[in-house]
Structures are given as C-alpha cells and as structure tokens.
Amino acid sequence: MNDIVIKNLTKRYERGQKPALNNFSLNIEKGEIVTLLGPSGCGKTTTLRLLAGFERGDGGSIEIGGKVVFDDNTWIPPEQRNIGMVFQDYALFPHLNVENNIGFGYKGKDKKQRVKEVLELVNLTGYEKRYPHQLSGGQQQRVALARALARRPVVVLLDEPFSNLDADLRICMRVEIKRILKESGTTAVFVSHDQKDALAISDKVVVIKDGEIQQVGTPREIYQYPENSFVANFVGQTNIIDGTMGENNTVITPFANIKCYHTHDILPGTKVKISIRPDSFEVCPEGELEGTLIFTVYGGDTIDGVLQITNGIYKQNIQIHIHPEKDYKIGDKLKVKILPHFVAVLQD
Ligand SMILES: Nc1ncnc2c1ncn2[C@@H]1O[C@H](COP(=O)(O)OP(=O)(O)OP(=O)(O)O)[C@@H](O)[C@H]1O
C-alpha cells in the first residue's frame, strides 16, 4: 500500500523561470524510508515543503495516507496532513525540558504514556527533565525525532538531519534513526545531498537534478546500476568509457571488450557509455586492461589510484581502488580485471 502518491507535481516560484520541480511523480510505500538526493538547488526542499503543505504546487497532485491533500480542487493545510517534521537544526524549544518538548502540541489524553513510549523508543528514558542545552547533538536529534513521532504521524519528513553532526556521530545516528523509524513502522522522507547518508539509511533513493527525477531505486541499484552519467557521477566515484554495444552483453571499447551485467537490452552496434566504479577493478596478472599508475592517495582502508590506460591514439585515466597492503609505486605497470557486476551501460 502506498502512503504517499505524488503525480505530475510542478512548482514554479517565479513566472518565466525554470520550474523548481517539474512533472515529479513518486510512490512511497507504507513504512518505507525514502531519500531525496541531489545537488544544491535541485528541488529537494521544495518537494518536502510541498508535501508538508508549506508551499502550494502549480499543478499535479499529492496524496498522503490515502487522502488527497493537494490537487486542482483540493488544499489541506499543514496541520491537517498528519505529518511529523524533523528540521536540520532540530528546532527544539530551549525553555522546555525534554518531556515537554516531546509532548508539545500533543492533544491526546494518553500524553504522559505516549511521551514515555517515544522516549523509550529513542533510548532517552531518564532524560525527561533535561533541557536542550544539556544534551549532546545526537541526543537533541533523538528528541526532535521523538517529538515528530509522538503524534503517530502517517509520515515523517526529515530535512538534512545529519548535517550538523560530526563524522563519527553521523554514522551512529544513521543506524539509530533507521532503527527508530523501522521499529515505529513510520514512513519517512529524508532530504540529503550526501550520498553516503542516502545509501546507508534508505530503502529507496530518488536522485534529482534540476527539478526532475533521474532515477529511483534501492541504494544498491542506484550505486551498482546508475542509469545515466549524472547518477553515476553524483552517487560515488566512477569512470565513464565510450564504446559500442556488442554481442552477449559485451561493450567494445578502444581498450578492451568489457562484459556488462546490466545492458537495458540495447541493440548491438549502438554507441554507448559505460560506468565502471573504482571498486570494480581488481589488480591481477590476468587483467584485461593494462596501464601505468600515475597517482595514488593512501586512505588507510584503501588506496585511491589513477591508472593511465592507452591504446594507440586512445588514452584515458581511470580511478581504481587498490588493496592497502599493496605498495605499488608511481610508474608501475598494472593489469586490472573488471568485475562485470559493477559495470553499467548508461542511457545517455
Ligand atoms: N522562495 C523561493 N523563491 C524563488 N525561488 C526559490 C525559492 N525557494 C527555492 N527556490 C529555487 O528553486 C530551486 C530549488 O530549490 P530547493 O531549495 O528546493 O533546492 P534544494 O535541492 O533543496 O537545495 P539545497 O540543498 O541547497 O537546500 C532553486 O533554483 C532555488 O533557487
């Protein structure tokens, strides 16, 4: 069952300008965690604001929990949409303690019990009487989430919730927030420009560019099988190589015939681009590509390397990941094998 159905949603802030959101359609299932991912200005916040009812669309429709909240003839205001919000800066009331922050605006008779429940859910039992300034960033964020969940909303909207956290805490909070959302069974829509956050937390990632959806898929689909160059480059690092579609899922490139896992049934003879992730190269003697190592960056758990491959007039630098135990030197000749599961034929 879908909790959110967005159909052909368009939003233009100013006449004559390109729309901030263009013909945007998306279904979100009950209990699903979805991240809207894209660069600054692509329309993520606009989508969130349209869902929340802080903005009105110019066309299209939005359904939340089986109820139309916006279309040509309908406008349901934010407070009647049954959504919870978690803002980037948490927006806690500084003069209220934790239990009063969480219970704020809760009208039910079971307020005390509900505050206790959500405090337990976010692992903050015992912190009821503390004020926001007496909490760490991660704890403040859990209070903000508890407040959003207290009213049992159909959906929680989270605007860049990890951006104020330092790197270690960020990793913990991704796990913790996912656990809390899954345990409560709440549908959630995140906004993020950070691909690591999106891949870690989501059931489904929606990659957006210039107000238009580029690809919707599971984190693995988005990373492993990007459909176009934008997605391939925006989500992780990649190498894009030109070639021609051959037989048996093989792409003929100037450097080698490269087996691909995902070819979209493109006909042989068609000019294509393929995306190969740096981690799909394995340095080994039987590798099909040969090149010269021209650059390395030691990163502890891996080494980022740049290999220059050539064939006559053709030359290309490719990014590879090298196992950190290997101590190759600049100028070394290396052979690399390509793992077909990480090679995607792009559709642009
Ligand atoms: N109130 C507004 N008036 C006019 N234009 C706006 C307004 N809000 C946003 N825009 C424009 O709409 C487009 C989408 O903006 P939006 O804030 O949705 O992007 P975003 O993906 O959330 O970016 P960021 O990651 O920087 O927050 C941008 O071109 C932006 O300049």
Tens of pLDDT along 140-156?
Answer: 989 999 999 998 999 99
* Ligand 1 atom at shortest distance from the alpha carbon of 11: 12
72 and 158 belong to one structural domain:
yes
Say whether both 70 and 180 belong to one domain: yes
Whole-number Å distance, alpha carbon 131 to ligand 1 midpoint, is 33
Q: Is the CB of 42 under 6 A from ligand 1?
A: yes
In a domain, 66, yes or no: yes
Is residue 38 pLDDT above 90, yes or no? yes
Q: Is the beta carbon of 44 within 6 A of some atom in ligand 1?
A: yes
185 pLDDT tier (thresholds 50, 70, 90): very high
What DSSP character marks residue 249?
A: T
Q: Which of 167, 198, 224 is the last residue of a domain?
A: 224
Question: What average pLDDT does range 172-189 have in this prediction?
Answer: 91
What is the b/e burial string over 111-140, where b = at least 16 CB atoms within 10 angstroms of the residue's CB? eeebbeebbebbebeebeebebeebeebbb
The answer, yes or no, to whether ipTM is higher than 0.85 is: yes
Tell me the mean pLDDT in the region 167-186.
Answer: 88
Whether residue 313 sits in one domain with residue 269: yes
**Residue 36, domain extent:** 2-82+153-224
Structural domains of the chain, count:
2
Asked whether residue 215 is assigned to any structural domain, the reply reads yes
Identify whether 141 is part of a domain.
Answer: no
- Of 224, 255, 270, which residue sits at a domain end? 224
The DSSP string of 75-116 is E--GGGS-EEEE-TT----TTS-HHHHHHTT--STTHHHHHH
* Domain-embedded: residue 19: yes
Query: In degrees, to the nearest 5, what angle opens at C-alpha 68 toward C-alphas 153 and 189?
Result: 45
Q: What is the pTM of this model?
A: 0.91
Residue identifier of the C-alpha nearest atom 22 of ligand 1 = 45
Q: Which atom of ligand 1 is nearest to the CA of 49?
A: 18
For ligand 1, mutation pick of 18, 46, 195 (most atoms within 8 Å of CB): 46
Q: What is the pLDDT of residues 233-284, one digit of tens each?
A: 999 999 999 999 999 889 999 999 998 877 778 889 999 999 999 988 999 9
- 3-state percent breakdown (helix, strand, coil) of the chain, nearest 5: 25, 35, 40
For the stretch 84-141, pLDDT in tens is 999 888 889 999 999 999 999 888 889 899 999 999 988 899 999 999 999 988 899 8
Is 321 a member of any domain? yes
